[in-house]
């Protein structure tokens, strides 16, 4: 995926191109991206901008500089990512990066470092990075990509120029997905995955939509006491748990919305009807409680815990309504 394929990145590209042409390019950027909206694509494009050897048309996309940068094989481009199963970027990785940035470039031009996801820098790593940000060497470009920049220390944020990458409007995302992958239930796919066009691009829309429908059906049955939590949990924890949790989250959000909409509506009704209606809804406290349990499970997906048991507990709370 290259930046010219993502039309919603055009304003950000125009800004970077103009700053670069005017010799006013900041030495550090923070790309604050919406999930799956292309922050990494923009970072790679910015690297190509300064590593392109065709100055009049940078980034030309055709020269050796552009092509190597696009495939992360340029000797003056470093990328810091999560290693293996780790959820954090560690201080050793930042130290290595800083040492590399302090050297002169191989090609006599810019040196570029991309850190993504930058919100995975742990505290020690962020502090180590601060030194590099405070004393930048000439012609270095540091690009941080984060969906949750608030998790970074303010000292880091204040030293980066911010670029916001928002998800395109739903209709634009659907048109874009259709132009690349052809017609499918893209709207429904984005309903499940959130407005994250790049995630949708990688997904099989039919499978995602079907998966969400099945999850919804079984949750309704569970909440009505017509499905066995233990059997469901046993089936669910084995395959695609992250997507399942996303579907559960969507269903809960929908239930919570309906709860409030119903509450507002019932004010208009007489007290006995109100009570009768209220009894039909799961309690809002319980819904929020289950939502918390989903979040806990989501954030501990790589921890050694009994997922079947955690899922079963969650479903039992729903069945208890």
Pairing between β-strand 161-165 and β-strand 28-33 as defined by DSSP bridges: parallel
Choices 46-54, 144-152, 174-182, 208-216 (CB under 5 A): range interacting with Zn ion: 46-54
- Choosing from 26, 34, 63, 291, the residue that interacts with Zn ion (CB under 5 A) is 63
Nearer to Zn ion, 70 or 287 (CB): 70
Kindly tell me the sign of the dihedral angle through the C-alpha atoms of 279, 285, 288, 292. negative
Nearer to Zn ion, 59 or 205 (CB): 59
Residue 60 binds Zn ion, judged by CB under 5 A: yes
Choices 48-56, 122-130, 174-182, 294-302 (CB under 5 A): range interacting with Zn ion: 48-56
Nearer to Zn ion, 106 or 258 (CB): 106
What distance in Å separates the CA atoms of residue 231 and residue 9, rounded to the nearest whole number?
A: 46
In sequence order, what DSSP letters do the residues of 198-239 get, joined into one string?
A: HHHHHS-HHHHHHHHHHHHHHHHHHHTT-S-HHHHHHHHTTS
Which pairs from 138-141 meet CB under 8 Å and 24+ separation?
Answer: 139/105, 139/109, 139/110, 139/111, 140/27, 140/101, 140/110, 140/111, 140/112, 140/113, 141/25, 141/27, 141/28, 141/29, 141/46, 141/47, 141/50, 141/110, 141/111, 141/112, 141/113
Residue 52 binds Zn ion, judged by CB under 5 A: yes
Nearer to Zn ion, 30 or 66 (CB): 66
Residue 204 binds Zn ion, judged by CB under 5 A: no
To Zn ion, the closest distance from the beta carbon of 16 in angstroms equals: 15
What distance in Å separates the CA atoms of residue 47 and residue 62, rounded to the nearest whole number?
A: 14
Choices 5-13, 63-71, 87-95, 108-116 (CB under 5 A): range interacting with Zn ion: 63-71
Q: Could you tell me the end-to-end alpha-carbon distance of the chain, in angstroms, rounded to an integer?
A: 46
Choices 30-38, 44-52, 176-184, 271-279 (CB under 5 A): range interacting with Zn ion: 44-52
- Choosing from 49, 66, 208, 318, the residue that interacts with Zn ion (CB under 5 A) is 66
To Zn ion, the closest distance from the beta carbon of 59 in angstroms equals: 5
To Zn ion, the closest distance from the beta carbon of 104 in angstroms equals: 21
Residue 208: partners with Cβ closer than 8 Å, 6 or more residues away: 189, 192, 193, 243
Residue 54 binds Zn ion, judged by CB under 5 A: yes
Q: How many residues bind Zn ion (CB under 5 A)?
A: 5
Nearer to Zn ion, 26 or 63 (CB): 63
Residue 107 binds Zn ion, judged by CB under 5 A: no
In the complex, the residues that contact Zn ion under the rule CB under 5 A are 52, 54, 60, 63, 66
């Amino acid at each position: 995926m290259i930046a010219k394929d993502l039309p919603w990145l055009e304003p950000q590209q125009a800004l970077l191109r103009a700053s670069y042409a005017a010799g006013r390019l900041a030495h550090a950027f923070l790309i604050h991206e919406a999930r799956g909206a292309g922050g990494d694509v923009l970072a790679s494009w910015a690297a190509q901008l300064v590593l392109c050897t065709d100055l009049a048309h940078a980034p030309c996309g055709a020269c050796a500089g552009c092509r190597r940068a696009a495939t992360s094989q340029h000797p003056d481009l470093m990328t810091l990512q999560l290693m293996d199963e780790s959820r954090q970027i560690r201080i050793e990785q930042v130290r290595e990066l800083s040492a590399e940035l302090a050297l002169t470039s191989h090609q006599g031009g810019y040196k570029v470092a991309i850190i993504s996801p930058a919100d995975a820098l742990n505290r020690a790593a962020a502090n180590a990075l601060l030194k590099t940000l405070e004393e930048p060497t000439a012609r270095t470009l540091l690009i941080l990509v984060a969906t949750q920049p608030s998790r970074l220390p303010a000292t880091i944020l204040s030293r980066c120029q911010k670029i916001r990458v928002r998800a395109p409007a739903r209709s634009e995302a659907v048109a874009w997905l259709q132009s690349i992958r052809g017609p499918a239930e893209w709207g429904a796919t984005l309903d499940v995955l959130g407005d994250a066009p790049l995630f949708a691009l990688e997904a099989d829309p039919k499978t995602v939509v079907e998966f969400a429908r099945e999850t919804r059906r079984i949750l309704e049955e569970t909440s009505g006491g017509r499905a066995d939590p233990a059997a469901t949990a046993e089936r669910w924890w084995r395959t695609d748990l992250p997507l399942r949790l996303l579907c559960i989250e969507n269903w809960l959000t929908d239930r919570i919305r309906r709860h409030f909409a119903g509450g507002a509506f019932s004010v208009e009704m007489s007290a006995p009807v109100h009570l009768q209606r209220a009894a039909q809804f799961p309690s809002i406290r319980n819904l929020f409680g289950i939502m918390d349990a989903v979040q806990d499970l989501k954030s501990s997906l790589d921890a050694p815990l009994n997922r079947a048991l955690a899922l079963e507990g969650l479903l039992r709370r729903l069945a208890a309504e």
